[in-house]
């Protein structure tokens, strides 16, 4: 009886006791888990099958992570998983104020852009702000910053882009700020003002000093002036990047000038968009690369980058002699309206050996080698995508007169594509281990305000062209080496300590692509097409491309240099 009573009492207690609560669901181990991919970590090491776990904006773990919880899981079976690509010369500092998606960049796997070639977006004084007004007004963008620091704040608080952005301070912009666009040496007092502007920009987060020595006003700077400014940047841990003074007949002495700046200023140096321009210099790329190798053997810290196309792009006004462009827009337009000076300009445009400028009109083969790619004035849009030979014929005038009239009508805002390189030189440079990649073009889009004009295809497909054409089809590079050039090589060069590798603790900039289908679709005459084969892109842990489609995420960050 006692035993039976105890059993009954236990059963009664069991019926009235509170039920045991269910186990709490386990928190996810990762916000994002990318599984079963071929991981190319950015070091150049062979790919391996693995998973990438992301927490917040950083890579948390790499390995075999099956069974671990995640907020979002991406199956990368059969796909390659790499660090996000770094564009060494992006030119999107204005474009991302217009359209923060950076659409043509993220659809080719780019997660970080370096910009600020020669004339950075800031600093601005009243005159420079007034000169920029036409472009800002055309795209309904408010110009509410004067310093580089204020521009960075604008990106972080109002114009959050999809990509990370780091900027150099342009020596040409600084020179124009202090001196204007006049061809003369800086006085000692002016040089001190320029050094102060560089110092302030470095303290605000600039990555270093840049020059664009083919163009006004950078071309008017002496080597000594550049060295003085570069020393200021070096004192703040910066780098020196240059569009060198000559990419054609004087290329060796031009490279020597870059080496001199590197050596005298004690600053790591990189040559932007290395090329051997114009027919007389085709086939010289091996010689040029040996020249860079020899400088490195002497202890000079210099490297270079390229874009994978045999045509370049710049302003239509760069087809005009240097003396025409001196002084800025208004003096240039006045000269172009003077009949006597127009005749002199036409003669100079046919000079094969000018002493003081790069004659890209003659070097491109004249009118048939210069294609009008974009204009600012909508009334001129009918001429986009046509050569100056075609435009001149349609206008019923000498193509050189057509150049001058278009420059006048668009106030120097038009851009052109110029046929100045040869494919074998591009391939030779691309195969060299020192070479990184830059698009040298601002972000574009298939829709919205940045879609109404055309551009160089390098804005849309530089990285995907390399993966599709030179890695998959021609096997000029292994996929691991190409990814190293896209990621850890530029990250280390720009001193981006936590980007460029798939590594725990690093920022979660990740590009997932299908090597079997990746390709560029943009052409010189029909450029406005996104690349294919980029399946997923994460910037600071957030998907900006998912299943090949652009998302609404805008997680890009400003990448500042050392701030003392």
Alpha-carbon distance values, 154 to 12, 142, 198 (Å): 69, 11, 20
User: Are the C-beta atoms of 233 and 267 separated by less than 8 Å?
Assistant: yes
| Residue recorded with tokens 């009243």 | 126
- 302-317 pLDDT tens trace: 999 999 999 999 999 9
Domain range list for the chain: 168-271+273-310+421-437, 314-418
DSSP letters, 11-71, are HHHHHHSPPPPPPPPPPPSEEEEEEEEEE--SSSPPPEEEEEEEETTEEEEEE--TT--EE
Q: What is the pLDDT of residue 21?
A: 52
* Cβ partners under 8 Å of residue 302, min gap 6: 258, 259, 262, 268, 269, 270, 271, 292, 295, 296
- 56-100 pLDDT tens trace: 999 999 999 988 999 999 999 999 999 999 999 999 999 999 999
Cα angle 245, 290, 256 (rounded to 5 degrees) comes to 30
CATH no., domain 168-271+273-310+421-437: 3.20.20.140
Cα–Cα dist 526/422, whole Å: 21
Q: Is the pLDDT of residue 9 over 60?
A: no
User: Are the C-beta atoms of 528 and 451 separated by less than 8 Å?
Assistant: yes
Cα–Cα dist 86/91, whole Å: 13
> Using the 8-state DSSP alphabet, how is residue 168 labeled?
P
User: Are the C-beta atoms of 279 and 271 separated by less than 8 Å?
Assistant: no
Burial 296-315 (b: 16+ CB within 10 A, else e): eeeebbbbbbbbbbbbbbbb
Cα–Cα dist 54/538, whole Å: 10
Structure tokens that stand for 466 in this block = 């390399």
Q: How many CB atoms lie within 10 A of CB 166?
A: 24
Cα–Cα dist 334/261, whole Å: 36
- 201-250 pLDDT tens trace: 999 999 999 999 999 999 999 999 999 999 999 999 999 999 999 999 99
Q: What is the pLDDT of residue 268?
A: 98
Q: State the average pLDDT over residues 271-293.
A: 97
| Residue recorded with tokens 């025409």 | 324
- 365-405 pLDDT tens trace: 999 999 999 999 999 999 999 999 999 999 999 999 999 99
User: Are the C-beta atoms of 212 and 218 separated by less than 8 Å?
Assistant: yes
Cα–Cα dist 368/319, whole Å: 13
Beta bridge pairs of residue 53: 33, 61
Q: What is the pLDDT of residue 564?
A: 65
DSSP letters, 468-512, are IIIIIIS-SS-HHHHHHHHTHHHHHHTT-TT-SS--TTSB--EEE
- Answer left, alpha or beta for residue 278, where phi above 0 means left and psi between -120 and 50 means alpha: left
Q: What is the pLDDT of residue 355?
A: 80
Cα–Cα dist 392/458, whole Å: 26
Question: What percent of the chain is predicted at pLDDT more than 70?
Answer: 95
Cα–Cα dist 65/24, whole Å: 22
User: Are the C-beta atoms of 507 and 58 separated by less than 8 Å?
Assistant: yes
Q: What is the pLDDT of residue 356?
A: 83
More confident residue, 20 or 412: 412
Cα–Cα dist 250/83, whole Å: 37
Q: Is the pLDDT of residue 22 over 50?
A: no
DSSP letters, 322-337, are HHHHTT-HHHHHHHHT
Q: How far apart are the first and last CA of the chain?
A: 86
Q: How many CB atoms lie within 10 A of CB 203?
A: 16
Cα–Cα dist 169/199, whole Å: 10
Tell me if residue 113 falls in helix, strand or coil.
Answer: strand
Lowest mean pLDDT among 9-23, 311-325, 469-483, 514-528: 9-23
Helix 188-203 to helix 171-178 angle, to the nearest 10 degrees? 130
- How remote is the C-alpha of 182 from its chain's centroid? 29
Structure tokens that stand for 461 in this block = 């497909």
Say what the pTM is: 0.92
* Cβ partners under 8 Å of residue 353, min gap 6: 249
Q: What is the pLDDT of residue 15?
A: 38
């Amino acid at each position: 009886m006692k035993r039976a009573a105890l059993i009954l009492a236990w059963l009664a207690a069991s019926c009235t006791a509170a039920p045991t609560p269910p186990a709490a669901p386990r928190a996810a181990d990762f916000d994002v888990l990318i599984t079963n991919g071929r991981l190319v970590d950015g070091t150049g090491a062979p790919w391996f099958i693995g998973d990438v776990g992301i927490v917040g904006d950083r890579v948390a773990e790499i390995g075999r992570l099956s069974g671990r919880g995640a907020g979002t899981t991406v199956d990368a079976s059969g796909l390659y998983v790499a660090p996000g690509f770094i564009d060494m010369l992006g030119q999107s500092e204005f474009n991302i104020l217009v359209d923060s998606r950076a659409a043509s960049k993220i659809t080719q796997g780019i997660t970080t852009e370096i910009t600020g070639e020669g004339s950075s977006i800031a600093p601005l004084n009243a005159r420079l702000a007034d000169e920029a007004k036409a472009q800002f007004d055309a795209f309904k963008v408010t110009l509410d910053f004067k310093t580089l620091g204020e521009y960075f704040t604008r990106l972080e608080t109002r114009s959050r882009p999809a990509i990370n952005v780091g900027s150099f301070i342009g020596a040409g912009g600084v020179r124009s700020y202090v001196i204007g666009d006049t061809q003369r040496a800086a006085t000692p007092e002016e040089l001190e003002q320029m050094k102060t502007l560089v110092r302030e920009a470095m303290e605000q987060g600039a990555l270093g000093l840049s020059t664009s020595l083919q163009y006004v006003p950078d071309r008017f700077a002496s080597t000594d002036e550049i060295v003085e400014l570069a020393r200021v940047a070096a004192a703040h841990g910066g780098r020196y990047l240059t569009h060198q003074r000559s990419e054609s007949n004087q290329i060796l002495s031009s490279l020597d000038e870059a080496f001199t700046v590197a050596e005298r200023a004690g600053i790591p140096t990189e040559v932007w968009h290395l090329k051997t321009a114009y027919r007389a210099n085709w086939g010289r790329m091996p010689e040029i690369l040996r020249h860079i190798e020899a400088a490195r053997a002497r202890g000079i810290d210099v490297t270079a980058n390229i874009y994978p196309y045999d045509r370049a792009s710049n302003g239509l006004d760069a087809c005009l002699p240097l003396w025409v462009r001196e002084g800025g827009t208004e003096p240039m337009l006045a000269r172009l309206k003077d009949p006597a000076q127009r005749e002199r300009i036409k003669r100079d445009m046919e000079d094969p050996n000018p002493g003081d400028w790069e004659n890209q009109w003659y070097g491109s083969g004249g009118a048939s080698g210069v294609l009008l790619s974009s204009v600012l004035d909508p009334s001129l849009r009918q001429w986009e995508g046509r050569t100056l030979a075609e435009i001149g014929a349609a206008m019923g005038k000498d193509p050189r007169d057509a150049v001058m009239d278009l420059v006048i009508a668009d106030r120097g805002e038009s851009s052109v594509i110029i046929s100045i390189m040869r494919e074998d030189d591009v391939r030779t440079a691309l195969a060299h281990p020192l070479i990184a990649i830059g698009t040298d073009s601002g972000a574009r889009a298939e829709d919205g305000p940045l879609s109404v004009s055309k551009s160089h295809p390098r804005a849309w497909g530089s990285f995907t062209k390399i993966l599709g054409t030179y890695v998959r089809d021609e096997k000029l590079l292994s996929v691991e080496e190409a990814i190293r050039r896209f990621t850890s090589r530029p990250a280390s060069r720009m001193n981006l300590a936590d980007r460029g590798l798939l590594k725990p603790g690093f920022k979660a900039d990740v590009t997932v692509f299908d090597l079997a289908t990746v390709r560029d679709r943009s052409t010189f005459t029909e450029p406005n097409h996104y690349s294919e084969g980029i399946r997923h892109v994460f910037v600071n842990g957030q998907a900006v491309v998912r299943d090949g489609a652009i998302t609404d995420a805008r997680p890009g960050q400003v990448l500042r240099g050392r701030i003392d």
